[in-house]
Amino acid sequence: MNKKVAIITGANSGMGLAATVELASKGIHVIMACRNEARGREALAKARHASQTNHIDMMTCDLGSLFSIRQFTEEFKKNFNQLDIVMNNAGVVSLKREVTSDGFESQMGINHLGHFLLTNLLLEELKQAEDARVVNVSSGAHKWGRIHFQDPYLTKKYNVMKGYGQSKLANVLFTIALADKTKNDSIQVNAVHPGAVATNLGIDRKTGFGKAVVNRLAPYFKTPEEGAATAIYLATDPEIQHVTGQYFYDKKQTVTSKKAKDRKLAETLWIWSEREVGLQSPIV
């Protein structure tokens, strides 16, 4: 296969769907990693129609299940012999404390740990690419985040802002740690703050609660296409081929919080994350 191959998580709607269409339109073969198969199939049809190409596939992957992530990566490796781009886009906002099938608080489990395992399981495939890109969708919310190692799943004092900020800080720390660990490989790892985007983020996936609020605010937000623009830039633009471990907003490197630059904290989080998802030895 000569086409570049990309995996996009959370690809059935919002920024993920917009990025799928744009990357496929650029001649990249896109794998849409979607939690819900029925919704994923609907999104696949939309993406193929919008991009006017059939070089898009859909595979189920629930970032809230370590088993599902492992199944996904095994199936991917059976069907594809290369991987050039991983866009870790999927995310949740949980107004009430929820847990994944593995017992992780949902925001930390899906937004960080799921992508941590997925990327690590695909790292050898990325290392084979001439110009591999890992794009982690974070948020300005990382600036108020803290990693609560004493209670990372917030069993005692949960609130949505605390949980979301922690998970988005984890995205940036994961970015700088992975960039350091792959500095001798042809892999660029960068994080992006997409801005305020009109997506399904914040809408309860089971009940639909929050949809009315998001719809009312949508005119004031970026469109999914506008929100995805910087992630697409990081995934494809040749001018940043050797830029890694950075944080971008509107296609420009921008500042992070002091905690997000702490490499010791990033390594501590890496080791903790590795233990939580069942990776036996550090990726170096």
Name the burial class of residue 252, with classes exposed (0-12), middle (13-18) and buried (19+) by CB atoms within 10 angstroms of its CB: exposed
The amino acid at residue 185 is D
Is-catalytic flag, 164?
yes
Q: Considering the candidates 164, 220, 233, 249, report the single residue annotated as catalytic.
A: 164
Residues 6 or more apart whose Cβ sits within 8 Å of residue 267: 177
Contact 91, 170 (CB under 8 A): no
The tokens describing 225, both together, are 């296409």
Measured between alpha carbons, how far is 79 from 255 in angstroms, rounded to an integer?
Answer: 39
Distances (CA, A) of 218 to 65, 129, 157, 203: 30, 38, 31, 13
Which residues are annotated as catalytic?
Answer: 164
